[in-house]
A and B are shown apart, each in its own frame.
Chain A
Amino acid sequence: DAGVIQSPRHEVTEMGQEVTLRCKPISGHDYLFWYRQTMMRGLELLIYFNNNVPIDDSGMPEDRFSAKMPNASFSTLKIQPSEPRDSAVYFCASSFGQGWPGELFFGEGSRLTVL
């Protein structure tokens, strides 16, 4: 079975540009998470979904960030406009929760560099 698939693996863009990160969770998983990893702040939970519905977006840094999950097999994290401080590795993870925190399966991450 395929794991969590993220694209692109690497993205270099200029400040002000729109960035879209994509994630395909493991089939059958009902939770999807977006995390951001930086040296300064470690692993931060940005937002998570349950059955395609956003449950907690309190970690989204500001209005420039938005996330959607139009169906059970696809999610996007969009940054518009991007800024250099958004440079980080963005991880998508999925799990089968059954109402309790299940094991998170992480993708390989999308490394974003904003110049």
Chain B
Amino acid sequence: AQKVTQAQTEISVVEKEDVTLDCVYETRDTTYYLFWYKQPPSGELVFLIRRNSFDEQNEISGRYSWNFQKSTSSFNFTITASQVVDSAVYFCALSEASYSNASKIIFGSGTRLSIQP
């Protein structure tokens, strides 16, 4: 069965600090997809990134970066030089790519990130 664990319930940092959100997943499949979503105070979930299990290259997008390590079943998310607008709940998610359920996406419990000015 698939499972996503985000052990950090809440994180609070001061603006301009770097912050890393942890995500650990469990799956029996060798082919799977990992995601990060952002839920700002407005409530709507916004897609940030998708990675497949065969691509372990780290990804950087502006101040955001993702570190995927299959050896530790982790897909961590780092925000560099955090800003108040980054305050949100961040969700890590997993989809096992079996044919019958290729699009079943399971979410972790989320990490609430607060950036203080």
Contact = CB atoms under 8 A, between A and B. Distances in A.
Interface of A: 31, 33, 35, 42-43, 45, 48, 50, 55-56, 89, 91, 93, 95, 97, 99-109
Contacts, number: 62
A106 B45 contact: yes
B19 interface: no
Interface stretch (B60-68, B73-81, B93-101): B93-101
Given A103-B47, A108-B44, A45 B106 contact: yes
A78 B97 CA distance: 29
Judged by DSSP, the binding face of A is strand
A43 B45 CA distance: 11
Contact of B44 (A31, A50, A106): A106
Interface residues of B, number: 24
A45 B93 CA distance: 11
B104 interface: yes
In the A-B complex, list the 4 residue pairs whose CB atoms are closest, starting with the nearest: A101-B95, A43-B107, A106-B45, A42-B109
